[in-house]
Amino acid sequence: MTMYELIQAKRRGEAHTDEALAWLIRGVTDGSIPDYQLSAWLMAVCLRGMNARETATMTACMAASGDQIDLSPLGAHTADKHSTGGVGDKTTLIVAPLAAALGCTVAKMSGRGLGHTGGTIDKLESISGFRTSLSPDEFFAQVERIGVAVVGQTGNLAPADKKLYALRDVTATVDSIPLIASSVMSKKLAAGAQSIVLDVKVGSGAFMKTREEGKALARAMVEIGQNCGRKIRALVTNMDVPLGYAIGNALEVAEAIEILQGRGCPALREICLALAANMYSLSFDVPADEALAKATTVLDSGEALAKFRAWIAAQGGDVACADDPAALGTAKYAKVIETPHTGWLVHMDAERIGRAAMLLGAGRATQDDVIDPLAGIRLAARTGDAVTAGAPLATLYTSDKTKLAEAEAAFLAAVELSNTDPGIAPLIYCTVGN
């Protein structure tokens, strides 16, 4: 078998055998296949696709290419969630303690942000003292004690994906359904949870631009999970607008706390309840409507906020923020953007808003950039809201005053006002999986 033959076969649209895929992923992992051949093969996959069997085999090989976390000592109710990447997506900060308060075992690894999307680990690090790196013993002991821990991804989880993802990033081969599905699911399978809930984002800030594409990606990932013996469900959700009002690390932690306190953005609350309820429903075989009712009770009773406090304290964070989000700190400079004219906010380009937040210091353009935890944007209105000329549209926060003008221009270019009411778009398009 040679890489030349595999590139040629895929270019012609032929399916690879399981043996060929196992050989290829071994070669990715041990570095024996040169980048130029892998890049050519990735482009052929992007253009010709892969069938369900090929995608499942490749995912299983990628999951087995490095460490595989054995969560079985933690019992049968381990549950994980994953979002395919969004702007202002702080759902893990709410869903992890909420699912744990429902009785799920949340032993979770999360990533850092890159480009216009944020990462949970960066958000958690905006809480003073919070440790995102725990030893395996500390991690397991914490989950056994309080039911939840969230740490940064270990260096050796699905290394084949790490290598392929880095190549995809620079060869315009990211947005391929089999490649995204295998990338996401290899890490989820290696991370070990029995129940997995996926949030597949659709819209301007997401890889999938249409509902149909989002559904196809959701189906591909659910099929992989089911074939690998996991309980799995995917929500296909609207990312044409940032999730909630805050974009930026400490700002998003503050907004997550508002939801846990029973306040805050109804859309954000709805999606967090749906994600946590599905984790509980899968883990405990509870019907979806019953699970949603229980999740709502646990959120409104303050049990999820109590679990958040226990979680933050267990990982060394300053829990004062749970009662007073102002304890997270405030950026040195703030600038209110005024609404240019009266009407309705009809469109927000979530990706461009994410880029405006990045300009302020909230995100990284390259992996080595240092984040300003207090930088970001707090929206005063979201898509569908009526707005009045001169009223605040958003506030920008940064510690670098020179960034404000460029970020304001980028923000204004990302929003569209109209004289016509756009109506309210649904937040959750559909659920895939049983």
Whether 117 contacts 205, CB under 8 Å: yes
Whether 84 contacts 199, CB under 8 Å: yes
Nearest distance in Å: CB 22, ligand URA: 20
Nearest distance in Å: CB 397, ligand URA: 27
Q: Which C-beta is closer to ligand URA: that of 184 or that of 305? A: 184
Q: Which C-beta is closer to ligand URA: that of 28 or that of 312? A: 28
Nearest distance in Å: CB 183, ligand URA: 3
Binding site residues, ligand URA, CB under 6 A:
84-85, 165, 174, 179-180, 183-184, 207
Nearest distance in Å: CB 119, ligand URA: 11
Cα gap 246→363, rounded to integer Å: 13
Read off the tokens for 324: 């007073």
The angle at the Cα of 226, spanning 190 to 86, to the nearest 5 degrees, equals: 65
Q: Which C-beta is closer to ligand URA: that of 62 or that of 410? A: 62
Whether 218 contacts 84, CB under 8 Å: no
| CA dihedral of residues 9, 15, 17, 21 (deg, nearest 10) | 80
Beta bridge partners of 148: 106
Q: Residue 172: what are its φ and ψ, rounded to 5°? A: 55, 40
Q: Which C-beta is closer to ligand URA: that of 59 or that of 339? A: 59
β-bridge pairing 415-418 and 343-348: antiparallel
Nearest distance in Å: CB 138, ligand URA: 25
Q: Which residue number has the CB closest to ligand URA?
A: 183
Q: Which C-beta is closer to ligand URA: that of 180 or that of 191? A: 180
Read off the tokens for 43: 């482009």
Nearest distance in Å: CB 223, ligand URA: 16
Whether 331 contacts 170, CB under 8 Å: no
Cα gap 184→198, rounded to integer Å: 10
Tell me the residue type at 385.
Answer: D
Q: Residue 80: what are its φ and ψ, rounded to 5°? A: -130, 160
DSSP designation for 154: P
Catalytic residue numbers?
A: 82, 161, 168, 183, 187
